[in-house]
Chain A
């Protein structure tokens, strides 16, 4: 392994600009003549829009335009779309209401978009928005997930009982049969708490319109600028794709929330033409809480059937998923195909049946947040399994290992064909790291200090590398999920790699360059990674679902292979040899059995000079592109073990130790991969202990700032012990499985299993705040005293 090749912890190429304040985020971009947009948002969760009077506001200083849903409709600007069709149990399509970028006739959640003011300054736009008079006809609000379907209030006329779809997966009859044959059934009711993704950079947009060219440019905080362009063009109707450029420059975190095509970005680019000047909008944090797509929000009943030997034989799950007031871009896929197919976990369970009801409520739209469906599935599986082990009197680690899938490939009863893995290896390594043998002593030591110590396991699996286009197409996706790459070799042998993946913290500029430098045998400094601009990169599907390594880099590898193949042809002419006799190794083309060589840079130069060959037989230049469509999902898996100590007097939970052992297949940059694990765990710990978006019964979001919504801080977390096992992924040329979401998927059940272990199996809800834990601890202490 070279110092910068595959497997090396190369320090990041992109860091210099970030540590010196030279990053270029959307809000850092200022266009000549720029104006500012401010959105007037609904203060009511549910109301008819009877009248909007903006006459006085329009005359205020600096105001250039005030627009409402009627103006968008008049310009034939379409509504926002949901790009994944889900069918009901009876085969009928899901029932979705319309989603205008600016409300038409009705507002459906606090923060819904009533009007936009464009003014010379942001302060003037805000002042004018306050002067707009709106006559609302306030309606009762539907807020609660579990009872939304039985509410008398209807969010959308199209969706009777506020139900978007009743969907199911698996073999119901086989599962019923398994439960009839069961020796023991473990039952669990749980709530997967609603979260707000909160990347540190709030969403932002700068819309620009070039009157001479009749062309739009949108600078925006997107994880997938090409998908944004496709939707804004083909569905919303801003402009044809050749007249719409979308640029996603440095993006300050996404975690899913910047996948989606939102109202504000749509309105900014449209309004740039209306006012004839660039329009900037930057979300403040409360706007982000109100209008970024939220995550999770499930209510679930789950059961696990085991036989007399403790072998898992069946699972059934019934979930109600809250999708909020409108269907966001990929919302319908999250509680369905990103959820139920993961319910087999790492276990050999012959029969699984899952039903999901998705409901509309008067709350912010809910869509993918780091892990997207897979954390929800893992929470169901790993809580059920932990409780089953307790009920059966089995050691939780041994019970898991007894039921692990051991032969691959393995077809689960819920779609997925797991290709490879070694789950016991990860468990054994994690048990060593956490010093499982020493746990009893540590528990005694804690008890002596009046504390309660517990341990919690999580054996997670996820499906990522999303995904084979034909497979997702058959499941309802509106697009294929391949990735593109172009490798442009300059005449001096430096290389520009254009990728459809987008980096917003993942370090692609380094990892991707490592791959290319390794394959071409050139210094890593000679490789630049270009992404995030639809004028530079022709097409791409973007970054989400831990797909950039497995899919994005596979496309790059494919294009690099083509460059090498073309280079061999050039070298054959230059070295006056037969193409079949040319080898490429360590950055040199050479003629087998001779000392004739041509280094990569010289080959590139010869390709462009083109004196040595006939342009009819071989095209000049050295530039190749590739599209890569994966053959299967990838299946990263691992074991996380969390050890907590609880103070029963205060309910404060301290995480004392964390062992994470993950199998991500082949790892290009272990430093970056470990960083992804750390960050994912922190978000999962946030869900388990701290975070929860709360609406009151009127539909007011009462956790709409960092003062009310508890984000994990440095003193809430420990350092993590991260280990790895490796089974290379067989379904892509690089053997990569993906690492972006694992931590967030694995960690919530590990924490809750640890807390409930410490509390003598007393159940707690998420977030397990000190108050929640204190109440449970008091109950546990009373119960144990009575026993």
Chain B
């Protein structure tokens, strides 16, 4: 067993884990943050996307011990004081989800996409950038609409993006 300490959704946490423990297992099993899902085990589907030090990563292929000291945001940490993040609102408004299983990863990937590519995202850009996330229910039609609207709303809410910061 080994000790790993990190900040998850603003809280400092320490866990004693088997060295082969993946970040997603730490989140789901030790911290009971079950919003992050496992859909494929091979980094293909993106259901497990979380933000690691502000950047999207696939937590199903990240060893927990490798992120000691890092800051992690999961879907549970996206809303602030009960106020939904604009991207969460956009997914609901545009029916960007059906079964909900891929949704946390989609939303976390979408927020990261806005950070990297700005608030004005056309359809081709969104479809191209979303190639690391699979949804089996929606045919992506409404996810694309939701991300475009969410990106714009993030701009109005003046959410700083990495692109702007650079």
Which residues in A have some Cβ–Cβ distance to B below 8 Å? Answer: 11-12, 14-25, 27-28, 30, 121, 123, 198-202, 250-253, 255, 282, 284-286, 504-507, 671-672, 675, 678-683, 705-707, 711-715, 717, 719-720, 743
Contacts and interface: CB of A to CB of B under 8 A. Distances in A.
Interface in B116-141: 123, 126-128, 130-131, 133-141
A649 B139 CA distance: 28
A121 B20 CA distance: 13
**A-B CB proximity, top 3 nearest:** A21-B35, A252-B101, A18-B100
B93 A11 contact: yes
Contacts of A284: 38, 41
Contacts of A707: 42, 44
Interface string B130-166: 1101111111111110000000000000000000000
Interface stretch (B51-59, B63-71, B73-81): B73-81
Contacts of B75: 19-21
B101 A714 contact: no
B2 interface: no
A754 B138 CA distance: 23
B95 A683 contact: no
A757 B92 CA distance: 39
A254 to B, nearest CB: 8
B92 to A, nearest CB: 4
Which among B34, B74, B123, B128 has the highest number of chain A CB atoms within 10 Å? B34
B4 interface: no
A331 to B, nearest CB: 22
B61 interface: no
Dominant SS at the B interface? loop
Nearest to B47: A200
A720 B123 CA distance: 13
Contacts of B40: 285, 705-706
B130 A719 contact: no
B84 interface: yes
Contacts of A255: 136
Interface string B32-51: 11111111111011010000
Contacts, number: 179
Contacts of A200: 37, 39, 45, 47, 99, 101-102, 134-137
B116 to A, nearest CB: 16
Dominant SS at the A interface? loop
B137 A253 contact: yes
Question: Chain B interface residue count: which class?
Answer: 35 or more
Interface string B76-92: 10110000100010011
B122 to A, nearest CB: 12
B136 A705 contact: no
Contacts of A679: 98, 136-139
B134 A672 contact: no
A414 to B, nearest CB: 31
B114 to A, nearest CB: 16
Contacts of B23: none
7 contacts: A19-B84, A20-B88, A679-B136, A706-B40, A713-B134, A714-B127, A719-B123
A507 B92 contact: no
B107 interface: yes
A505 B137 contact: yes
A91 B32 CA distance: 56
B103 interface: yes
Contact of A715 (B18, B130, B143): B130
Given A20-B88, A714-B130, A715-B127, A199 B136 contact: yes
Nearest to B123: A719
Nearest to B126: A714
A253 B98 contact: yes
Contacts of B76: 20-22
B92 A12 contact: yes
Interface string B5-34: 000000000000010100000001000111
A467 B143 CA distance: 33
Contacts of A504: 99
Contact of A23 (B33, B100, B130, B142): B100
A609 to B, nearest CB: 37
A179 to B, nearest CB: 40
B44 A706 contact: yes
B100 A286 contact: no
A714 B39 contact: no
Contacts of B137: 200, 253, 505, 675, 679
Contacts of A198: 136
Contacts of A682: 138-140
A682 B144 CA distance: 14
Contacts of A30: 32
A12 B95 contact: yes
A66 B101 CA distance: 32
Given A25-B37, A711-B45, A714-B140, 7 more contacts: A19-B92, A20-B78, A506-B98, A705-B42, A713-B130, A714-B144, A715-B127
B145 to A, nearest CB: 8
Contacts of A123: 18, 20
Given A201-B99, A285-B40, A715-B130, A22 B35 contact: yes
Contacts of A720: 139, 141
B139 A252 contact: no
A16 B78 CA distance: 13
